[in-house]
Structure 1
């Protein structure tokens, strides 16, 4: 006998717009406290930025607010549901003329200086004729982003959260009881909107009749190349340069290389600029001994920032039923546990384990002056 499919509701406590890592982790955090629906315009979850991540946990990455959230997320990423981190290491390389920028990047990232000779042990293809400085930090980790998404999805569904894919929000209307949400499939009602729409978050606010916070989507591109010289790359570190002129990371026997681009873009399904890729690969080739002979594939995603480069998490100052969860930049996975905990803290009214100054620095109030 076939089981009967559970009937979808039309009324919810929390409607989360966006099913990237922000929206899915928020669903897991909120589902114990009410009826949750996640609305995603694309055909599957993690389609945009969350599906195109470099997938690294870097404790020294980002500003102090990001670093506080990364630190607060560490235990969850290491241990919850078996953990999703695998040690990779972080190697910073510099060239002559970059001394000040190299020193600043190493200090900010908490890396210790090593000799170029020692750096060659970590990254055998670096060119000692071109690389004059190196620093290393062992506690940098790959994130199994697929597993983390699956963990949060399973937790949310266990608490009866619903996920509706291919469901684009067309309109948001304030009512006396909350929100009417217009969809191609009909209408829903929700008490609170959680805006986790990534590059489209400002547009969602405008649908709700609220002022945008001035988010800036920026393109970041990546190419996958064969293992240089046929090398075994599995144990190579994540390799970075001052100001992210390029960075590289092993990936399933190949090597990912990014030109570190950050070009402003309209919200869109991003694709790489061939010239940007070529210039980035040239910067990479200038510091290694193995040329790029073939590109396997490439892609791009949008990393979305507020003007101060900190995420935007909190109720809109104009409407206490509209909650922002946006502007994660390139830090969404490594800060997701802290961010989703904070979502639940602020919405249900419990104290946050984050320092109060961090909570204030994340509030959308700061961007609506």
Structure 2
């Protein structure tokens, strides 16, 4: 695949109106791709919303969880760690993770403890880390120092600044409405313009399969899953700023300090159509009930609620590389909530595949994220 892309790729300096790369989507995937590809050729980002990083990227939990996700995700996260620690002064800060389990849910707890590389701790110690914990309903606890806060806004800005510095053009409020393949590449139509490009980079998040359809390609079957969030005020009498990221086994909920309050995820994965999603009242109520069951807090008000979309392939690994049915259409999608912690490695891999360079990633990881695996 890399050889095919390398042979197709030529920078066209005589026709500056024809971009080398048109990136559909201006979230963390699209912005990191622009930064990686701009040294290789002319780049334009086409983002449907009025601002960059509006959907999933703008609704991140802002956590770095190195042991989270599929094997491929964990390898990509490890390969991204150096960049995240040092780029732009570093975007990672200490936080820690506390896993809590209820009686009767030992199987979930044991699996997540092993997968997350956590160590069991006494319930009494867990109560020191998280004073809201209800020792009457929580029966087990585990701890890890590996979970870190991530300054996603700094990471987004860093990639956007880098892309612009290398000549990339960022076009918000430009929804792709149609795509036509030509002898030179693609004509990409929006409401008021047509962009010509040799390659299309599909970084459209929840809309990735929709963009493939506009290009005349069958979908990869990416699942768009909604997760609802609640911004809670800080509990009276508590300073939450040093509390850890707290997760209930079985994905019942997770919570973390944010500003002067707490961010609570209801933990659901509700299949929905790609849209500017809004939370369901019953989902919020059930999420709060699960949280209250394992804490001593009775929630009487919330600051805000919202929901975000996470996009997964069937095997829960990202999709990166040329579509085997059309090598000028390149996927960068399916990050499933791990887009920020894998962006450095994924964007580097994208540039390697297009330029024909050898990737530093294991061969099995490159194949594990290739669209070839989903095309059969």
Same fold (TM over 0.5): yes
Matched, 1:284 2:291: yes
1:48 aligns with one of 43, 55, 64 = 55
Give the C-alpha shift of residue 230 in structure 1. Answer: 3.5
Give the C-alpha shift of residue 10 in structure 1. Answer: 3.1
Matched, 1:296 2:306: no
Give the C-alpha shift of residue 66 in structure 1. Answer: 0.8
Which residue is 2:136 aligned to?
Answer: 129
Give the C-alpha shift of residue 348 in structure 1. Answer: 0.8
Q: For 2:138, what is the secondary structure of its paired residue? A: coil
Give the C-alpha shift of residue 187 in structure 1. Answer: 1.1
When the two structures are aligned, how many residues end up with a matched partner? 362
Which residue is 1:3 aligned to?
Answer: none
Equivalent residues of 1:10, 1:187 under 8 A apart: no
Q: Distance in 1 between matches of 2:190 and 2:105?
A: 52
Which residue is 1:31 aligned to?
Answer: 38
Q: For 1:324, what is the secondary structure of its paired residue? A: strand
Q: Distance in 2 between matches of 1:299 and 1:183?
A: 29
Q: How does 1:153-232 map to 2 (within 5 A)?
A: 153-232=160-239
Which residue is 1:363 aligned to?
Answer: 370
Which residue is 2:7 aligned to?
Answer: none
Q: What are structure 2's unaligned runs of at least 5 residues?
A: 1-15
Q: For 1:78, what is the secondary structure of its paired residue? A: helix
Q: For 2:236, what is the secondary structure of its paired residue? A: helix
Q: Distance in 1 between matches of 2:222 and 2:171?
A: 25
Which residue is 2:347 aligned to?
Answer: 340
Equivalent residues of 2:88, 2:155 under 8 A apart: no
Q: How does 1:65-76 map to 2 (within 5 A)?
A: 65-76=72-83
2:104 aligns with one of 97, 114, 126 = 97
Give the C-alpha shift of residue 243 in structure 1. Answer: 2.2
Structure 1's consecutive aligned runs of 4 or more residues displaced over 6 angstroms after TM superposition are none
Superposition CA RMSD, Å: 1.0
Matched, 1:244 2:251: yes
Which residue is 2:5 aligned to?
Answer: none
Give the C-alpha shift of residue 15 in structure 1. Answer: 0.3
Tell me the alpha carbon deviations over residues 101-130 of structure 1, each in whole angstroms, 9 at most, x when there is no partner.
101000000000001101111101101111
Q: What are structure 1's unaligned runs of at least 5 residues?
A: 1-8
Tell me the alpha carbon deviations over residues 144-170 of structure 1, each in whole angstroms, 9 at most, x when there is no partner.
111000000010000000001100111
Q: For 1:54, what is the secondary structure of its paired residue? A: coil
Give the C-alpha shift of residue 99 in structure 1. Answer: 0.9
Matched, 1:352 2:359: yes
TM-score (norm 1): 0.97
